[in-house]
Amino acid sequence: MNSIQTFAVHLLPILLAITLHEAAHAYVARYFGDTTAYAQGRMTLNPIKHIDPIGTIAIPLALFVIGSPYLFGYAKPVPVNFSRLRNPRKHSALVSLAGPGANLIMALMWLVLAIGLKKFQIQEEFFLRVAEAGVLDNLVFFAFNLFPIPPLDGGRILTSILPYQWAHRFVQLEPYGFFIVMALVMLKVLRYWMVPVMTVAHELLQALVIPLKLLL
């Protein structure tokens, strides 16, 4: 595929991956008592509400242009007042986990669609490529966001389970987290996290669709 075709194939999966990721954070935060994101209109599937000019557009486009093996980005962070959660320490971990969890579920749905397209021999190759891109892109978002450094979800989850003294020190990395992650990407170190996590997640998804394959 040429560059334009590749961009077209990944556009919808990436938009959905980012949108549902952020909406999941907002929904779970509201469920556990914080309505901040809901009040600001972030509990929505409208991608415009979640788009960040740098994280959603510029960074994925730059990675695409330089030929990065992974396309990822981020949306406007969903505002969460953790002190308003019913159990701030426990529920903050669940709010953070909701985003990657949504990506894993989407990857499963795209995989089911890809299996169905192949089984019923749908002739439109573009749709199959979009489905396969949906699996890959959501696994990338799943693994990337679970990287254990704030402000990524993995960092927030780790903060919520560390002893209070360690958590207080660890969270101070948050202003530098983005630069640390981008440096790891440029140095090609992040792949040592991405590849194993994506591989395990993909094997889990393959195990989950075995019954579907047997039925079809």
Q: Which residues are catalytic?
A: 22
* Half-sphere exposure at residue 203, Cβ-oriented, CA atoms within 13 angstroms: 5
Q: What is the DSSP letter of 158?
A: H
Is residue 82 a contact partner of residue 34, using CB atoms and an 8 Å limit?
yes
Structure tokens at 127: 């749709």
CB atoms within 10 A of CB 187: 9
Q: Which two tokens stand for residue 102?
A: 């949504």
Judge contact between 101 and 66, C-beta under 8 A. no
Instruction: Tell me what percent of the chain is helix, strand and coil, each rounded to the nearest 5.
Output: 75, 0, 25
Q: How far apart are CA 85 and CA 210, in angstroms?
A: 38
Exposed (0-12), middle (13-18) or buried (19+): which is 128, by Cβ within 10 Å? Answer: middle
